[in-house]
């Protein structure tokens, strides 16, 4: 092309010069900044930091805030509840996919000769630099300045907020649904939005207004103070857990089958133990403490196991700890009874969990179990879990236990549909009550004294005056008389409406920018078409606020923006040729209100694969494209969704195929392999930090068939609060559905923007380190350009003082964020746990799932910094040290020939062994696979950690033998991961939250193959598999199971059909982690190894 950087022919002004375009673009950016500065950078007053004395999250670092007044928003959010909730049920009512009828593609295929393009691109639109004079501010033409976006609706007393819920009831409560993306793209069927559980009772007179954040629509709230009484204020009302369940979240099967009646994953619960749709791993029940005491039973067959003896930290008379012991002789396996080996237990009951009982913290159920939480003062374990549910008073006690003290924080976790919504509290202009010293937020554990006139902070111990309008007398029990009516005084989690002081600018709009690789490889593998199709369908699922904005760009060796302005008849392409020094067209042209450009966008997405179908440009300017898109989003922030198919090869941030270099030099490769898991240089990291400063979050969808250096690329999502999706080897046939569903959940799930998070602890404990996907500019806070319900942050803790036995230690996570509807909120979760001086209490209250999640995340963090063998040894040693401590100080068995495992941690060896055999720590994996694993693990929620290393396996062929009614307990009991359980005439499904392998034995009956897969012999199994539903019970049941697993995991799962004797079969058997492998021990051997290590430490 003569002018590779020019706009598409037809638009070039006379004497067009691409460099002039570039220069003008840069000038325009300079102008924008200046105009922004005229608008005034609202520096936060020094005393208004939402997080205490630290620098405010955005001050100063955000040049170019939007000029005040440009967004005509009142203090109240949009008033139309229909637009402000996001129930999935709304989706089917809107058209999906490309518009009907065939439209002429607006662009010719690329690369066209100059002047050869058809008329669509001609037209009156001038190139973005054509305006010579001073240009108005970037948003001055924006429809955001007008229209019904946010009429102020301040109620007369100013205390009632009538904004919409943060997330629609269906949205937050029902998890994802995964309609298929293939074929006819049937939309999920769903009923009308269901009312959220209504739990309010009689009138109440509390002055502060309260409403459920996920609950009832805001209409009418302002007029009826007191009608929204806190749901728990009158215990005589209907039981809190009796709310009807919403529509099943996952309602579409690949054949568009409606969910079978009664198959709702959350059928109406009844108090007590419920039947479940199958908890991920059944349940390892952890009953409340009282019951736990009753369950302390001596393990069978172990003579002398319960001898009484004085234990470290355990007073005489203390009941012995529950544990499991096995006779393990030095000689090995002969003495091991396979029935004694600790295994995952399965149970189909749902646990009802009250977070506090009798003014004491209740240890939570296992993260992998299905449970329903009633928040009675501590936050739900979905939001914060601690590795130990009692806090050691001293650092010495903690080190003796060899356990780690850490929190796993998931501040926006999806609640169970039967749980009460989080309540939103509005303190008006003064903002929430906080400790004036440490800035901790008011919570149920702050103690009011002096007739309520003062309160003592449970974090720093400081005594504050109660604000005059917050005063209330104390009752005979010493609590405030209004404590049960105020969520912030009786609930572990509340959401505060953020007052002005929590904003440095107007809350940002929801901005979604799609960036699509159209280089030769992406086009030829179908990745571009799959991405465009997925985006096109997802457009209708974007949060539909009036402030939702979208943009789109494509890239190969150059970057192509599209002007989506309504005034233009067809989208106009604007090319950015300079991939070293990137600029961007005017953002007001390329990021447009969704409502304004929906049609343009759909036409464009339909045309892109055709436009570029003959593209022969193999180079990819990934870094430059991401940077250019960022520049377009800089003024608002938002989500940048990148679809990338090849190794970035040109422009800033280009990479090389260093994996191949490593392979060709074996000796160096062995020693230096871990360096391939580090980013190659700091270019992308530096860019990512800048993105984070401007609240731009990058998600990366890698649809590739080659090495793309995920270790380098993933720095961008990791630093900006995003994530990596990985489709390798990408198949347009079998991966398109997953790509679509991943993207759909990405934009639909509960999420927030421009967030800052901090965890506070009581005196004596402090945060040592945060780990996860975020950017950190000051030690105490993490910056999250975006955060969603799936993101978890590990917070490791350390002692800085002694704690008092008998006191409680509190942790509080405060997340300041903007909802997708532009409301500023502070979600505050508080967890208060007892302190103990007794080692036995630590083991008794250890949380296996959380502890293992921490071990796994730490291992992932270690992988890039040292040889793999070292990381593997560290994981095993962590396990050994914990069990050794228990054996030495707590167990009461005298025989050294026995392996004693604390009951709460009895599966730790199994999980650790599984970790050693995982994609991340096994020695034979691909570099990109390991990099992806590390990235996947980094923000992984606790409930997904166990299945990642120890997947769930079930027998499919046996489904036929059981009753074929599609009842509540959809998912059958899982099978241990050992090949001795795999028979040749069986079919097995194995899933780990990401992938779902279906293994077909060599001698499966033909009619079963026909029923399930429509094939007549195992030989017909193909590499590319799409699960279809046939008209028979077995097939329906398999589909129902897969759909239920998808719902539980919030993941569509990559399906693969496996058979014996080829690579797919080997992949399946590589998950049999209890087997002995050439490079790994069997489960029994590993137990013996652990036991010997403990014995040698004992002597």
List residues near Zn ion by CB under 5 A.
Answer: 435, 437-438, 440, 457, 459-460, 462
CB of residue 462 to Zn ion, shortest distance in Å: 5
Q: Please tell me whether residue 703 adopts helix, strand or coil conformation.
A: strand
CA 339 to chain centre: 37
Contact 908, 841 (CB under 8 A): no
Nearest-Å Rg of the Cα atoms of the chain is 29
Q: How far apart are CA 975 and CA 389, in angstroms?
A: 30
Nearer to Zn ion, 302 or 831 (CB): 831
Q: Beta-strand (E) ranges in 282-426?
A: 323-327, 349-354, 356-357, 360-361, 371-374, 384-386, 391-392, 406-409, 423-425
- If residue 948 lies in a helix (H) or strand (E), which one and from where to where? helix 942-949
CB of residue 441 to Zn ion, shortest distance in Å: 10
**What one-character-per-residue DSSP string does 718-746 give?**
HHHT--EEEETT--TTTSHHHHHHHHHHH
Length of the chain: 1099
Q: Please tell me whether residue 184 adopts helix, strand or coil conformation.
A: coil
CB of residue 158 to Zn ion, shortest distance in Å: 28
Nearer to Zn ion, 813 or 883 (CB): 813
Contact 709, 654 (CB under 8 A): no
CB of residue 830 to Zn ion, shortest distance in Å: 13
CB of residue 46 to Zn ion, shortest distance in Å: 19
Nearer to Zn ion, 42 or 460 (CB): 460
- If residue 991 lies in a helix (H) or strand (E), which one and from where to where? strand 987-991
Nearer to Zn ion, 432 or 440 (CB): 440
CB of residue 303 to Zn ion, shortest distance in Å: 53
Residue 496's nearest CA partner among 78, 782, 815, 173 is 815
CB of residue 758 to Zn ion, shortest distance in Å: 13
CB of residue 435 to Zn ion, shortest distance in Å: 3
Q: How far apart are CA 185 and CA 537, in angstroms?
A: 9
CB of residue 763 to Zn ion, shortest distance in Å: 9
Cα-flanking dihedrals φ and ψ of residue 850, to 5°? -70, -40
**What one-character-per-residue DSSP string does 733-786 give?**
TTSHHHHHHHHHHHHHSSEEEEEEEEEEE-TTEEEEEEESS-B-SSTT-EEEEE
Nearer to Zn ion, 441 or 1083 (CB): 441
CB of residue 833 to Zn ion, shortest distance in Å: 18
User: What residues have CB less than 8 Å from 1066, skipping those under 6 apart?
Assistant: none
- Roughly how many angstroms between the first and final C-alpha of the chain, as a whole number? 78
Nearer to Zn ion, 466 or 751 (CB): 466
Nearer to Zn ion, 435 or 842 (CB): 435
Bridge partners of 846, per DSSP, are 388
CB of residue 797 to Zn ion, shortest distance in Å: 17
Nearer to Zn ion, 35 or 436 (CB): 436
Bridge partners of 234, per DSSP, are none
CB of residue 458 to Zn ion, shortest distance in Å: 8
**What one-character-per-residue DSSP string does 805-825 give?**
TTSEEEEEEEEEEEETTS-EE
Nearer to Zn ion, 437 or 685 (CB): 437
CB of residue 460 to Zn ion, shortest distance in Å: 3
Nearer to Zn ion, 212 or 440 (CB): 440
Contact 382, 175 (CB under 8 A): no
Nearer to Zn ion, 249 or 440 (CB): 440
Token representation of residue 182: 């293939």
Nearer to Zn ion, 54 or 189 (CB): 54
Cα torsion 450, 453, 459, 460 to 10°: value is -80
Nearer to Zn ion, 447 or 685 (CB): 447
Contact 815, 89 (CB under 8 A): no
**What one-character-per-residue DSSP string does 486-519 give?**
-HHHH-SEEEEEP-GGG-SSSPPP-EEEEEEE-S
Contact 825, 496 (CB under 8 A): yes
Token representation of residue 502: 């929590």
**What angle is formed at CA 149 by the lines to CA 144 and CA 154, rounded to 5 degrees?**
125
Nearer to Zn ion, 436 or 1032 (CB): 436
| 406-409 sheet: strands from edge to edge | 384-386, 406-409, 793-799, 765-771
CB of residue 393 to Zn ion, shortest distance in Å: 21
Nearer to Zn ion, 340 or 762 (CB): 762
CB of residue 461 to Zn ion, shortest distance in Å: 7
CB of residue 465 to Zn ion, shortest distance in Å: 13
Nearer to Zn ion, 436 or 874 (CB): 436
User: What residues have CB less than 8 Å from 545, skipping those under 6 apart?
Assistant: 78, 83, 84, 149, 509, 510, 820, 821, 822
Contact 941, 413 (CB under 8 A): yes
CB of residue 891 to Zn ion, shortest distance in Å: 41
Nearer to Zn ion, 440 or 509 (CB): 440
């Amino acid at each position: 092309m003569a002018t590779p950087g020019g706009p598409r022919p037809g638009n070039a002004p006379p004497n067009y010069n691409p460099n002039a375009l570039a220069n003008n673009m840069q000038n325009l950016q300079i102008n924008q900044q200046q105009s922004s500065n005229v608008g005034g950078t609202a520096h936060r007053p020094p005393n208004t930091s939402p997080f205490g004395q630290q620098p405010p999250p955005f001050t100063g670092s955000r040049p170019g805030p939007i000029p005040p007044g440009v967004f005509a928003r009142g203090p109240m959010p949009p008033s139309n509840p229909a637009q402000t909730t996001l129930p999935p049920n709304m989706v089917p009512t809107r058209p999906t996919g490309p518009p009907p009828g065939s439209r002429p593609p607006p662009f010719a295929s690329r690369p066209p000769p100059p002047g050869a393009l058809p008329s669509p691109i001609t037209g009156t639109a001038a190139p973005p630099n054509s305006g010579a004079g001073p240009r108005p501010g970037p948003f001055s033409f924006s429809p955001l300045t007008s229209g019904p976006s946010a009429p102020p609706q301040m109620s007369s007393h100013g205390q009632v907020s009538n904004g919409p819920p943060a997330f629609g009831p269906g949205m937050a409560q029902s998890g994802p649904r995964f309609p298929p993306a293939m074929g006819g793209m049937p939309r999920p069927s769903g009923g009308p939005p269901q009312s959220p559980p209504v739990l309010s009772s009689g009138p109440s007179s509390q002055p502060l207004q309260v409403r459920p954040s996920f609950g009832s629509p805001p209409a009418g709230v302002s007029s009826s103070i007191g009608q929204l009484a806190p749901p728990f204020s009158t215990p005589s009302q209907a039981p809190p857990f009796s709310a009807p369940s919403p529509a099943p979240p996952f309602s579409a099967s690949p054949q568009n089958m409606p969910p079978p009646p009664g198959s709702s994953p959350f059928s109406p619960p009844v108090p007590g133990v419920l039947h479940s749709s199958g908890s991920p791993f059944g349940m390892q029940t952890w009953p409340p403490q009282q019951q736990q005491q009753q369950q302390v039973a001596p393990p069978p067959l172990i003579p002398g196991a319960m001898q009484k003896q004085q234990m470290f930290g355990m007073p005489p008379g203390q009941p012995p700890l529950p544990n499991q012991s096995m006779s393990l002789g030095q000689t090995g396996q002969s003495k091991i009874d396979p029935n004694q080996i600790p295994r995952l237990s399965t149970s189909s009951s749902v646990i009802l969990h009250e977070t506090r009982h009798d003014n004491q913290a209740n240890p939570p159920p296992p993260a992998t179990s299905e449970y329903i939480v009633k928040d009675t003062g501590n936050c739900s374990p979905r939001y914060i879990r601690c590795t130990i549910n009692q806090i050691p008073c001293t650092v010495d006690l903690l080190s003796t236990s060899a356990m780690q003290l850490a929190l796993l924080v998931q501040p926006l976790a999806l609640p169970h549909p039967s749980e009460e919504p989080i309540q939103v509290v509005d303190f008006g202009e003064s903002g929430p009550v906080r400790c004036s010293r440490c800035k901790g937020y008011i919570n149920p554990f702050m103690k009011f004294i002096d007739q309520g006139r003062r309160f003592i902070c449970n974090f720093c111990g400081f005594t504050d005056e109660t604000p005059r309008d917050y005063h209330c007398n104390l009752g005979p029990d010493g609590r405030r008389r209004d404590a049960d009516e105020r969520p912030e005084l009786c609930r572990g989690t509340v959401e505060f409406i953020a007052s002005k002081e929590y904003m440095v600018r107007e809350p940002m709009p929801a901005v979604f920018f799609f960036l699509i690789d159209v280089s030769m490889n992406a086009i030829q593998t179908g990745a571009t078409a799959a991405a465009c199709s997925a985006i096109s369908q997802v457009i209708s699922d974007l949060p539909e606020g009036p402030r939702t904005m979208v943009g789109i760009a494509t890239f190969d060796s150059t970057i192509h923006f599209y002007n989506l302005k309504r005034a233009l008849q067809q989208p106009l392409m604007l090319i950015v040729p300079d991939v070293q020094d990137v600029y961007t067209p005017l953002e007001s042209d390329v990021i447009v209100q969704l409502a304004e450009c929906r049609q343009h966008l759909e036409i464009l997405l339909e045309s892109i694969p055709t436009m570029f179908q003959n593209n022969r440009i193999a180079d990819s300017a990934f870094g430059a494209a991401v940077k250019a898109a960022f520049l377009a989003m800089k003024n608002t922030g938002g989500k940048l969704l990148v679809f990338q198919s090849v190794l970035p090869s040109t422009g800033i941030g280009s990479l090389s195929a260093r994996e191949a270099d490593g392979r060709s030099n074996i000796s160096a490769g062995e020693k230096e392999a871990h360096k391939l898991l580090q980013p190659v240089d700091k270019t992308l990291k530096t860019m990512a930090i800048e993105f984070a400063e401007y609240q731009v979050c990058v998600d990366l969808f890698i649809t590739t068939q080659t090495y793309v250096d995920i270790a380098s690329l993933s720095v961008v999502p990791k630093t900006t609060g995003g994530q990596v999706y990985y489709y390798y080897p990408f198949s347009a046939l079998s991966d398109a559905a997953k790509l679509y569903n991943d993207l759909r959940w990405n934009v639909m799930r509960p999420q927030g923007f421009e967030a800052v998070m901090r965890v506070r602890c009581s005196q004596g404990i402090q945060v040592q380190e945060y780990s996860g996907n975020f950017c950190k500019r000051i030690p105490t806070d993490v910056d999250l350009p975006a955060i969603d319900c799936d993101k978890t942050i590990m917070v490791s803790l350390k002692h800085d003082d002694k704690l008092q036995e008998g006191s409680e230690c509190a942790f509080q996570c405060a997340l300041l964020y903007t909802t997708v509807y532009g409301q500023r909120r502070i979600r505050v979760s508080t967890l208060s746990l007892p302190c103990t001086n007794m080692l036995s209490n630590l083991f008794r209250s250890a949380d296996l799932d959380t502890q293992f999640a921490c071990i796994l995340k730490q291992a992932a963090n270690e992988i890039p910094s040292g040889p793999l063998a070292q990381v593997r040894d560290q994981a095993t040693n962590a396990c050994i040290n914990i069990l050794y401590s228990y054996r030495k100080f707590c167990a009461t068995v005298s025989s050294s020939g026995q392996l004693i495992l604390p009951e709460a941690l009895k599966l730790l060896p199994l999980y650790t062994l599984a970790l050693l055999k995982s994609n991340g720590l096994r020695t034979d994996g691909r570099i990109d696979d390991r990099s992806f694993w590390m990235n996947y693990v980094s923000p992984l929620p606790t409930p997904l950690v166990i299945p990642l290393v120890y997947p769930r396996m079930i027998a499919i062929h046996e489904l036929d033998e059981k009753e074929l009614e599609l009842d509540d307990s959809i998912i059958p009991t899982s099978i241990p991961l050992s090949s001795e359980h795999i028979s040749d005439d069986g079919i097995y499904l194995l899933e780990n939250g990401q992938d779902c392998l279906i293994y077909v034995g060599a001698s499966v009956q033909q009619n079963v193959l026909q029923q399930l897969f429509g094939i007549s012999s195992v030989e017909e199994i193909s590499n590319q598999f799409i699960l279809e539903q046939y008209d028979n019970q077995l097939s329906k049941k398999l589909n129902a199971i897969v759909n239920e697993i998808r719902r539980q995991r919030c993941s569509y799962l990559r399906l693969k059909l496996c058979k014996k004797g080829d690579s797919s079969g080997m992949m399946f058997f590589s998950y049999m982690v209890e087997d002995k492998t050439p490079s790994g021990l069997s489960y029994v051997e590993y137990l013996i190894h652990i036991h010997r290590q403990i014995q040698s430490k004992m002597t």
